[in-house]
Amino acid sequence: MKKELLMASALVGTMGVASVAEAVTASYSGNHRTGVSFNSPTGSTDTNAVSNQSSFAISLSEVTDAGTTISSSFNLANEADGLSNATAITLTFTDGSKLDLLNAGNSAAGHDVSVPGSAGEEAVTVTTSNNAPTGIDFMGGSTALGVEWHSAADFLADGLKMSASFSTDTGAAATATARADSHWAIGATYVTDAGDTAVTIGTGISATDYSKTGTSLTSDEGGYHIGVSAVTGDLTVAVGFGDGDDIANKGATANGNASTQVDGEVVKAGVKYVTGDITLQLGIVSGSAQDSTTIGTAGTTEDSYDKTSASVSYAVASGVTAILGYSTVDSSDEGTSDATDGSAWYIGANMAF
C-alpha cells in the first residue's frame, strides 16, 4: 500500500510539474465602469439609473518550434451574464499573416473605421421595431463554422492590410426562421500620410445567404461600408457610410414571422480632440431603413434614427477616467414619430487595467 501511495504521489507530482512547464503564456486585461444615467424619454417621465459594466479578458498564446504563434482568448463580462468565448483559434505565421479558425468573424466588419461619439454610457431607447441602422457594418452576418485570413502589414502596397472570411452552416434542416447558410466577406485598411496628417481608409463588402421553409426572403443579407479617419496631432476627424440589406429579429417573432427584412443605410461622423488630460468627443449618426415583417414583400415606409452625442473625459489617475456624456435621439418607426426617443446624460468613471 505504501508503494502504491508513493507511486501515486510521484505521478501527481510529475503531472503537476509537466502542467506548469507546458502551460501556455497567459495575459489579462479588463475594466470596470460605473456611473449613473439620467434619461428624458419623449413620451414619458424622466428616470435615472445606476450603470455598471465590468469585463475581464484572458489571452492565451504559445509559439511552436516552427515559429507559428497559436493564440485564443475569452472574456468574463457582467453585462453578458457570464462567459463570452467568441474568439477564434488564431495562427500567426512568421511573415505576419494570420489565420482564424472557428468563430472567425466577418472580414468586412473588421475593417470599419472608428468614428468618435460620446464615451459615456447614456442610453436612449427607441421602439423595438425600429430597424434603422446605427453602425456602418450593420449588414455583416457570419456563422461560427468559419475561417478568416489576415494579410501581413504592407500587403501589395505600403500601408495596406487585407482580410477575407468564409463560413457555412451546421447542415441542420431549415425552419420558418431565416438561418444563415453561408457567408463571405473581404475587407481592407489603407494607412498613409498627407503632410502632418495620418489618413486611414477602411472598407469592406460582405454577403450572407439565408434559407427558410415556406416563403423565400425578398433579399439575403449583404452590402458594403467605407470610412475615412484623419489624425492631425491631437485632433481626429472621421466619417463612415454603410449601405445594404439586413435580416433582423433572428429567432424572435414579429407579426407572426421570425425574421424582418431590412433595406437600410447609415452615415456617421465624429470629432475627437485631446488636450492634456482632457478628451472631447462629438459625433452624429443618421440611419434610415425600409423593413418588412411580411416575408417575400419589401418594406415601403421608412424607419429613421438621428443621434447627436458628446462627452468630456478627464484622466484622474493612471487607468482612471472620469466621464460626462450627453446624447439626444430623434427617431421614427414606419414614418411615425417614436415616443421612446429623447435625451440622456451620463456621469461616471472607468477603471482599466
pLDDT digits (tens, 9 = 90+) for 7-42: 344 434 433 444 445 688 999 999 999 999 999 999
C-alpha cell at 288: 434610415
- Report the alpha-carbon distance of residue 320 to residue 34 in Å, rounded: 11
Which residues, 6 or more positions from 60, have their beta carbon under 8 angstroms from its beta carbon?
Answer: 24, 25, 26, 71, 72, 73
- Report the alpha-carbon distance of residue 169 to residue 225 in Å, rounded: 25
What was the pLDDT predicted at 80? 47
Percent helix, strand and coil across the chain, each to the nearest 5: 5, 55, 35
What was the pLDDT predicted at 5? 39
- Report the alpha-carbon distance of residue 184 to residue 109 in Å, rounded: 12
What was the pLDDT predicted at 293? 64
The answer on pLDDT for 254 being more than 80 is no
Lowest pLDDT segment from 11-15, 65-69, 165-169, 246-250: 11-15
Which residues, 6 or more positions from 233, have their beta carbon under 8 angstroms from its beta carbon?
Answer: 196
How much of the chain exceeds pLDDT 70, in percent?
A: 85
The answer on pLDDT for 44 being more than 90 is no
What sign results for the dihedral spanned by CA atoms 42, 44, 47, 49? negative
- Report the alpha-carbon distance of residue 100 to residue 142 in Å, rounded: 13
47-63 and 69-77 as β-strands: parallel, antiparallel, unpaired? Answer: antiparallel
- Report the alpha-carbon distance of residue 275 to residue 236 in Å, rounded: 12
What was the pLDDT predicted at 182? 86
Q: Identify the structural domains of the chain with CATH numbers, from first to last.
A: 2-352 (2.40.160.10)
What was the pLDDT predicted at 22? 66
What was the pLDDT predicted at 186? 96
Per the CB < 8 A criterion, the answer to whether 180 and 161 are in contact is: no
Residue 10 sits at φ, ψ, to 5 deg, of -65, -40
- Report the alpha-carbon distance of residue 105 to residue 93 in Å, rounded: 19
Lowest pLDDT segment from 88-92, 112-116, 208-212, 341-345: 208-212
What was the pLDDT predicted at 181? 82
109 vs 164, 244, 255, CA distance in Å? 11, 13, 30
C-alpha cell at 193: 500620410
What was the pLDDT predicted at 270? 98
Higher-confidence position of 263 and 197: 197
The answer on pLDDT for 257 being more than 60 is no
Buried b (16+ CB within 10 A) or exposed e, 249-262: bbeeeeeebbbbbb
- Report the alpha-carbon distance of residue 236 to residue 279 in Å, rounded: 11
Q: What pTM does this model have? A: 0.82
Higher-confidence position of 214 and 227: 227
Q: Give residue-wise pLDDT tens across range 272-315.
A: 999 999 999 999 999 999 887 666 566 678 889 999 999 999 99
Higher-confidence position of 335 and 265: 265
What average pLDDT does the chain have?
85
Look at residues 165, 252, 186, 260 and name the one whose alpha carbon lies nearest to residue 221: 260
pLDDT category at 221 given cuts 50, 70, 90 is confident
Q: Radius of gyration over alpha carbons of the chain, in Å?
A: 24
| Plot region of 104 (φ>0 → left; ψ -120 to 50 → alpha; else → beta) | alpha
What was the pLDDT predicted at 86? 61
pLDDT category at 263 given cuts 50, 70, 90 is confident
Q: Give residue-wise pLDDT tens across range 45-54.
A: 899 999 888 8
pLDDT category at 223 given cuts 50, 70, 90 is very high
The answer on pLDDT for 145 being more than 50 is yes
Per the CB < 8 A criterion, the answer to whether 233 and 264 are in contact is: no
Q: Which residue has the cell 426572403?
A: 217
Q: Which residues pair with 302 in a beta bridge?
A: 290
Region 309-336 average pLDDT: 94
